[in-house]
Structure 1
Amino acid sequence: MIVPSLLERDRDAREQMDDPGCDAAALRRTYAQFRVVNAVVAGWRSTYRHHLRPVLHPDRVTSVLDVGCGGGDLARSLVRWAARDGLRVEVTGVDPDPRAHAWARSRPPVAGVTFRRALSGDLVAEGARFDVVVSNHVLHHLDEAQLQALLTDSRRLARARVVHSDILRSRLAYLLFSAGTLPFFPGSFIRADGLVSIRRSYTPDELAAVVPAGWRVERQHPWRNLLVHDAPGG
């Protein structure tokens, strides 16, 4: 296997699942396998404990927006984790891709989770507000203008906190993901697209250099970037 240098972001690399004409069966298998992959590599249980749970309200329902929710596994997990902690959370998952939206809606329903086919800008235009805004593996998909738009939308939508979680680009992460996924996930885009995602992702310094004032980049070991914003008075 030829390993790219990864010294710079590969902005031109494209994931197969982003192709509207990609294999539909492989895409469905990819959505189905996201739950396993995210549980292993995305670190959201820790992110929930350290960044979301502290701003959840013990005496009322906390509203959460999951931007680019894909198959909806994070939205469902957040509701379940909060319930185990005796907290009430309602999550709205939005994604503009009709295929992702259809998959999320096709799964067994979870109380407190709803899905919409929409962009963050659509919700801003509606005047919607949420206590917390999150995303998982969205930032590396965006070009510079789209990234700035998402951050602007997130600040307008969130009453308390925004947490965008994404991959941290690393040669070691690339090698381990390549080797670790090779025997698994046949017939899906998990391995190929995961490697492209690493190539497109930021280092902490790169991400900090392109975000506006008021945002902070936190490294979550081993290979995660958390981009966090706290609303004034939130």
Structure 2
Amino acid sequence: MSRPSLARRDVHLRELMDDPDCDPQRLQTTLRRFGVVNRFVSGWDVLYRKRIRPMLQNQGGTGRILDVGSGGGDVIRRLSSLAEKDGFTVRWTGVDPDPRAYETSSAASPPNAQFLCTDAEAMWSTGERFDLVISNHVLHHLGADELTSFAEYSRRLSSGLVLHSDISRSRLAYGLYSAAILPVAPGTFLRVDGLRSIRRSYTPAELAATLGSPWRTSVPYPFRVLAEAPGSA
């Protein structure tokens, strides 16, 4: 079977796990295995060393961090572990409007974290503000108008910095992921949805053009794109 064209974002693709009627067991297994997959492909250890650790050091080792679209909570669990090893005192909050993701994240929540079933806009209306707002694998789910709104609310929620990390679309990323995910894919949506995610993803140039100022895009890790901006809270 030939590979699909990756010249443009395939915005019409829908990931299987986004279907509210998808197999619940496969969904929960997928969410739990994200911790393994993201550890190797998402580059959050690198972002922690280069962005998050310096920020916390400048704030005396304390902070409040929000993960928007937190899914199964694996990014918070990993970052919380890294911050704890460095002796930092951080309060973590993860928000996701999908009750199925909320159920998974809440079942394995670190003692210094809370997970809420809500979204960025609703969170902003509560008056909550954070030192840092992050997201992982959210941007490729959004069209141009949705992305602009999401980016704006994430800035309103932050008094410091915003970091949105996602896949960078490329043929090489598609080919490597297709093969590398096979050992952990059985019983999950990881392979099908991961490949669809790549096809839906922005290239760095596309993301920069869509977001505009004050956002800055970079490639912090292979096959990744990072959108970064100061908060506006």
Q: TM-score, normalised by structure 2?
A: 0.96
Name the CA distance, whole Å, in 2 between partners of 1:33 and 1:224: 19
Runs of 4+ off more than 4 Å: none
What are the within-5 Å matches in structure 2 for residues 57-72 of structure 1? Answer: 57=57, 58-59=59-60, 61-72=62-73
Q: For residue 182 of structure 1, report the CA deviation from its aligned partner.
A: 2.5
Q: For residue 66 of structure 1, report the CA deviation from its aligned partner.
A: 0.2
Q: For residue 77 of structure 1, report the CA deviation from its aligned partner.
A: 1.3
| Letter of the 1:54 counterpart | P
Could you tell me which residue of structure 1 aligns to residue 197 of structure 2? 197
Q: Which runs of 5+ in 1 are unaligned?
A: none
Name the CA distance, whole Å, in 1 between partners of 2:128 and 2:167: 28
Name the CA distance, whole Å, in 2 between partners of 1:126 and 1:32: 29
Name the CA distance, whole Å, in 1 between partners of 2:177 and 2:61: 40
Aligned residue for 2:227, secondary structure, equals: strand
Q: RMSD over aligned Cα, in angstroms? A: 1.4
**Do 1:79 and 1:88's aligned partners in 2 also have CA atoms closer than 8 Å?**
no
Could you tell me which residue of structure 2 aligns to residue 97 of structure 1? 98
What are the within-5 Å matches in structure 2 for residues 6-85 of structure 1? Answer: 6-57=6-57, 58-59=59-60, 61-85=62-86
Name the CA distance, whole Å, in 2 between partners of 1:93 and 1:13: 26
Could you tell me which residue of structure 2 aligns to residue 221 of structure 1? 221
| Letter of the 2:95 counterpart | V
What are the within-5 Å matches in structure 2 for residues 101-140 of structure 1? Answer: 101-107=102-108, 109-140=109-140
Name the CA distance, whole Å, in 2 between partners of 1:130 and 1:152: 14
Aligned residue for 1:66, secondary structure, equals: strand
**Do 2:61 and 2:87's aligned partners in 1 also have CA atoms closer than 8 Å?**
no
Could you tell me which residue of structure 2 aligns to residue 179 of structure 1? 179
| Letter of the 1:162 counterpart | V
Q: For residue 60 of structure 1, report the CA deviation from its aligned partner.
A: 5.3
How many residues end up aligned between the 2 structures?
232
Note the alpha carbon deviations across 1:38-62, whole angstroms, 9 max, x for none. Answer: 0110110001111111111453530
Q: Which runs of 5+ in 2 are unaligned?
A: none
Q: For residue 126 of structure 1, report the CA deviation from its aligned partner.
A: 1.1
Q: TM-score, normalised by structure 1?
A: 0.95
Name the CA distance, whole Å, in 1 between partners of 2:126 and 2:197: 31
Q: For residue 212 of structure 1, report the CA deviation from its aligned partner.
A: 3.0
Aligned residue for 2:132, secondary structure, equals: strand
